[in-house]
Structure 1
Amino acid sequence: MPLTAVDNPLTLRLLGLLVEQPMHQYALAVALNERYPYLNAKSGSVYTLVRSLEAAGWVGPTGVEQTGNRPARTIYALTDQGWNVFKERVRRQIREAKVTTSAFVDALAYLGALDRAEAPHVLRERQESLEERIAELERASDPGLPEITMIEVDFILHQLRAEAEWIRALITRIDDGELAWPAKGQA
């Protein structure tokens, strides 16, 4: 759990969108969900975070936009301080971000606790889920954007594809009897 709102994992993504162009809070929420559909960012969270970023001095209003009968919306852009914080966070996270242990890896350690016939079925369900996520990210990719703008999506796609391929190979090893299976009650 973040200690402060500016430690929220969405902060870097929001700042990054504002590097691309100033925008109002609703447009930020829409852009986040278009660019990163797996996040399911809520508008309320984005509005709260933008207010926190403004209080921290990282973003500031640059004007107001009003379209039709819609309410006027404040446009936000990075401040000089926000730009410096953004660049430092990018540097730090590329240098220091640790690979986290996921719930999948934890459960994988005990795959042998499942019946040998059940394990491939459960793994196939995981594989199907991965393939759905891959397809979702591929649909979200915008060929009109420069590759560097979506480089993290390319990285995630490579990870997901590699995991799906590894699971396919594991299923084959289980089905072919190549992988030794523990006796019941031993995992």
Structure 2
Amino acid sequence: MADPTRSSPLALTVLSLLHYKPLHPYGMQRLLKQWGKDQVVNVGQRAGLYRTIDRLTAAGLIRVRETERDQAYPERTVYELTAEGRRTARDWLDRMLAEPKQEFPEFPAALSLLLMISPAEARAALERRADHLARTRTEPDVPPAGDLPRVSLLESEYLRVVRDAEERWLRSVIDDIDAGRLTWEPAQ
């Protein structure tokens, strides 16, 4: 079993949602999407959210506040933040903001293996990625949520800047492949 006191983006997000107000898991998931947090926290699978809630409950960071019973909905367990959960959330947030962590996203891993394919194949794939990033520039970053203060949208601002920088970098690599400044022989 995973360490119940181990920080994760989803665990911190659950604690922050419960800092806002007591919620049941469906309400958490709904707010995550409404506030656009699903762009930075993986909540695609409800099972992951439930595992995180179980882990935080076992660690004493959250607790059951009540169980709602309504004819229109199945029984819903409402969770609330404990005092220890509030302290832990602040500690995790401070650490995640201040200390860069070695993360292992797919794209750099794929870049490290480019020798498997030809420069032409790499160029085509990188072009598709750059085009995809360019298309996302025209999409809204978060669902409309009224007049929110900038601090509420910093993650979207960060993601936009990173996306734009990645697209510029991709275009420069594609130019280098086209000009013959970057070439290799694919591994057989």
Pick the TM interval, shorter chain: 0.7 to 0.9
- Residue 133 of structure 1 deviates from its aligned partner by 5.8
Q: CA RMSD in A?
A: 3.1
1:28 and 1:91 map into 2 onto residues whose CA distance is 22
TM-score when normalising by structure 2: 0.77
Q: Residue 87 of structure 2 is aligned with which of 59, 84, 97?
A: 84
Query: Residues 13 and 128 from structure 1, CA distance in 2 versus in 1: closer, same or farther, beyond 3 angstroms?
Result: farther
Unaligned runs of 5+ in 1: none
Corresponding residue number in structure 2 for 1:36: 37
Please say if residues 33 and 41 of structure 1, whose CA atoms lie closer than 8 Å, have aligned partners that are also in contact.
no
Equivalent residue, structure 1, for 2:177: 174
- Matches of 1:136 and 1:8, distance apart in 2: 31
| Residue 25 of structure 1 pairs with residue 28 of structure 2 | no
CA offsets, 1:123-145, max 9 Å, x none?
01222343466666614464543
**Matched position secondary structure for 2:73:** coil
Superposed CA deviations along residues 37-56 of structure 1, whole A, max 9, x for unmatched, are: 35243223222322332232
Question: Structure 1 length as normaliser, TM-score?
Answer: 0.77
Partner deviation per Cα, 1:82-103 (whole Å, 9 max, x = no partner)? 1000000011122223243433
Secondary structure of 1:117's aligned partner = helix
Matched letter for residue 29 of structure 2: A
Segments of structure 2 that go 5 or more residues without pairing to the other structure are none
When residues 143 and 115 of structure 1 are mapped into structure 2, their CA distance, relative to the original with a 3 A threshold, is: farther
Q: Cα distance, 1:23 vs. partner?
A: 1.2
Number of residue equivalences: 184
Contact 1:64 1:74 in 2 (8 A): yes
Instruction: Summarize the alignment of residues 108-187 of structure 1 with structure 2, pairs less than 5 Å apart.
Output: 108-111=111-114, 114-131=117-134, 138-140=141-143, 142-175=145-178, 177=179, 179-182=181-184, 184-185=185-186
Shift of 1:25: 1.2
Higher helix share: 1
The aligned amino acid for 1:181 is: T
1:33 Cα deviation (Å)? 4.2
Structure 1 range deviating more: 45-54 or 80-89: 45-54
For residue 163 of structure 1, report the CA deviation from its aligned partner: 0.6
